[in-house]
Structure 1
Amino acid sequence: MTRADLGARIGLSKAAMSGLTRELLDKGLLRETSTVQRQGRPSTLLDLRPEGAYFIGVSMMSDPALIALVDLKGGIVASIEVPRSIDPDAFAQTVADSLPSLTRTGGVASERVAGMGVSLSGLVDQEQANCIKSTLLGWQDVPLAKLIRTRTNLPTFIENDAKALAVREKLFGEARDMHAFTLIWLGDGIGAAHFVHDRLYRGAHGGAGEIAHCTVDVDGLPCRCGKIGCLDTVASMIAILDQARADGIEAETLRDVEAVAASGSSSAIRLLHRAGSALGLAIAQIIQINDPQMVVVTHREEAFDGLFATVMQQAIEANVLPRLSGDTPIRMRRVADDAWAVGAASVATQSFLNGII
């Protein structure tokens, strides 16, 4: 954008905008890119300078865990895999021990790293400091941010996996110019995150978005959370594959189940209909409650254009007011394994941009 465009957007005078951009250029956070003609006069476009600041993103969504060095525009500069210890102290030390090698590989001086984010599966508190509970890791009330910060001297923030992906989407993705959107993560578990009025909505206790544990079948299977019939027991990838095997279907991925359904298997078709309908209904309720500008359904599966996705979309359309259904695009997006590392770094980037660090 030009200085004039920026000034108009944030309500600053030409002189104030000029002084502000000069300061940010001197600090190395902005750069001038190219010149355009505006009303007969040349104007210079400004952009964020990728090397203006760096952030560490730690993903605990896989084992080994992935640690990435990420620039100010969300690009991965270097990455390293480390063992994902479920001992919080041991993991914090592993992260600290990996940083010198990571920054050296990326050619970045350690003092240019502004902060760190960690993404994990679980409930995180309002301060993004403590893991309240993670069934996957077996954690409860773990002060992970403090453990890492003590060893690295870096401002550290932890975040739920779906919320980290949503922050990444807001800073660097299709939702950059959206004020309200919802992101759904569909994997071994199911998560959701909501941006409302340009801010990540966390709820009163950090639990906003826990759709995995909405009850969809009161007579259903026990859930790992201790409840009965949660969405997680019907529509997560683990639930789909477990049910497929229970029905005698040999399947290791959603693609396998889709292939069996395409061959005419009534049990596979019934399974995908049940899972897709449950997830679609949950998304429909989110649309009814939040009225987002967009819903992004993120997944790792290669096959996400078959019966499951079709039924999910049909369930959304059938259970949302026609006006909202027609105005709320549903985007399907496959994410790579490094998405949560960039998402974690994005959490730290957001704190940096908001002046928290």
Structure 2
Amino acid sequence: MLNAHQQQILRLLIASHGMSRTVLAEKMKLSKAAISTLVKEMLQAGLLEESIPESSGQGRPSVLLKMRADSAYFLGASLLGERVILVLIDMHGRTLAATQMPLNLDPPQLAKTIAAAIPDLIAQKSITQDQLIGLGVTLSGFVDENQAICVQSALLGWKNVPLAELLKQQTGLEVSLENDAKALAVSEKIFGVAKKARNFTLISHGDGIGSAHFFQGQLHRGAHGAAGEIAHCTIEPGGRPCRCGKRGCLDTLASLTAIRESVRDKALESESIAELEALAVKGNSAAIAILHQAGHALGLSIANIIQMNDPELIVIAHQPDAFDGLLKTVVMQAIDSHVLPSIIGKTPIASMVINEESWARAAASVAAYRFIIHLPD
């Protein structure tokens, strides 16, 4: 079992591209001798590896310590589509293998189906069961604060489903459930664009809208696990009815589902956001109005997050060809219009394209995050 100092070493290394013993000692305020002893044990355990960077010609380069890619493996299952996507990732977040299976909405049967797919998946990379550390599952809905129970998922039709325990019984693995946007934020924190940010927000823009926040390097789940649910913040009081029972939620204005509904209402000949953007470029006033409404609503919501949380970074995760052109322009303009003049332009906005496999990788990242960030004492 790793001690507290070794846990901290893992956290520092995962947030960097490699770190020397000297730098580790400085950051942890320990002696070089103490660091060397801790690192030696971790090297012997196969958790770390040493690498020597290319010489810059100015003295002997320091030996850098890194997490070994093969030091641990994680599984991730996405329940967001019509089929379950199951992936295997390594300690560097690389997807090594993937498979798909039908999504069975009966939880016990689903657990059996996922468990049955694991042996063939890991065999593709000659990995044994005992090399697996954990399984993460991402879904649309609310997850309890212990990441064990799906409290509610409209998409799956579930309420208070103990999916983590069902999967653990079938797989023997530690299982963590997570909301889709939170899982994606975790993935970007430990493996992606937000690796060096301690305070950031991720917005997922698709058929629905989600968000997740990291404060001081930790995922903010809230008292009941529901922090970050901007989809159902009221943007237009008395507006369109939402599936949640309220009216005028962000989801009813800015999600891809809402945009498609507006396109149908206006009887526009558009089958995709890209086609809607093309109509707007040609001057179609209805297309322009739809993109303006969606972009302004989303930009206003992001501006409120910036105003309240003052993050280092905002990451917008979107579908391919669904966040370009006028929509993106209006979002950026709305952000600048609704924050204080003194902070206009000070928060970097990054965007990234996601696909179906992104969610499964994010689920696996949740299992990795549990191992890296929340290691037991």
Please say if 1:279 is aligned against 2:298. Answer: yes
Name 1:266's counterpart in structure 2.
285
- Structure 2 matches for 1:88-107, cutoff 5 A? 88-107=107-126
Instruction: Please state how far the C-alpha of 1:338 moved relative to its aligned partner.
Output: 1.5
Partners of 1:171 and 1:11 in 2: how far apart?
Answer: 23
In structure 2, relative to structure 1, the CA distance for the partners of 1:35 and 1:265 (3 Å cut) is: closer
Instruction: Please state how far the C-alpha of 1:356 moved relative to its aligned partner.
Output: 3.9
Instruction: Please state how far the C-alpha of 1:37 moved relative to its aligned partner.
Output: 6.0
Partners of 1:40 and 1:8 in 2: how far apart?
Answer: 20
Aligned match of 1:301 in 305, 312, 320?
320
Name 1:188's counterpart in structure 2.
207
Q: Deviations over 1:177-196 (max 9, x none)?
A: 11100000000100000000
Name 1:355's counterpart in structure 2.
375
- Structure 2 matches for 1:4-43, cutoff 5 A? 4-34=22-52, 40-43=59-62
Aligned AA (2:219):
L
Secondary structure of 2:345's aligned partner: helix
Name 2:336's counterpart in structure 1.
317
* Residue ranges of structure 1 left out of the alignment (5+ in a row): none
Name 1:81's counterpart in structure 2.
100
Name 2:132's counterpart in structure 1.
113
Instruction: Please state how far the C-alpha of 1:41 moved relative to its aligned partner.
Output: 4.2
Q: Which moved more, 1:152-161 or 1:2-11?
A: 2-11
Partners of 1:308 and 1:80 in 2: how far apart?
Answer: 34
- Structure 2 matches for 1:209-220, cutoff 5 A? 209-220=228-239
Please say if 1:341 is aligned against 2:353. Answer: no
Name 1:146's counterpart in structure 2.
165
Name 2:146's counterpart in structure 1.
127
Instruction: Please state how far the C-alpha of 1:320 moved relative to its aligned partner.
Output: 0.5
Instruction: Please state how far the C-alpha of 1:246 moved relative to its aligned partner.
Output: 1.3
Identity %: 48
Secondary structure of 1:94's aligned partner: helix
Partners of 1:10 and 1:135 in 2: how far apart?
Answer: 45
* Residue ranges of structure 2 left out of the alignment (5+ in a row): 1-18
Q: Is the 8 A contact 1:36 1:45 kept in 2?
A: no
Instruction: Please state how far the C-alpha of 1:40 moved relative to its aligned partner.
Output: 3.6
Instruction: Please state how far the C-alpha of 1:262 moved relative to its aligned partner.
Output: 1.3
Aligned AA (1:8):
E
Q: Which moved more, 1:58-67 or 1:39-48?
A: 39-48
Partners of 1:276 and 1:326 in 2: how far apart?
Answer: 17
Partners of 1:146 and 1:97 in 2: how far apart?
Answer: 16
Partners of 1:301 and 1:41 in 2: how far apart?
Answer: 46
Tell me the TM-score normalized by structure 1. Answer: 0.97
Q: Deviations over 1:235-256 (max 9, x none)?
A: 0001101110110112222111
Aligned match of 2:242 in 198, 218, 223?
223
Secondary structure of 2:63's aligned partner: strand
Name 2:8's counterpart in structure 1.
none
In structure 2, relative to structure 1, the CA distance for the partners of 1:95 and 1:138 (3 Å cut) is: same
Tell me the TM-score normalized by structure 2. Answer: 0.92
Instruction: Please state how far the C-alpha of 1:130 moved relative to its aligned partner.
Output: 0.8
Q: Is the 8 A contact 2:199 2:214 kept in 1?
A: yes
Matched pairs, number: 357
Q: Is the 8 A contact 1:254 1:301 kept in 2?
A: no
In structure 2, relative to structure 1, the CA distance for the partners of 1:36 and 1:258 (3 Å cut) is: closer
Q: Is the 8 A contact 2:52 2:61 kept in 1?
A: no
Instruction: Please state how far the C-alpha of 1:64 moved relative to its aligned partner.
Output: 1.4
Partners of 1:114 and 1:74 in 2: how far apart?
Answer: 13
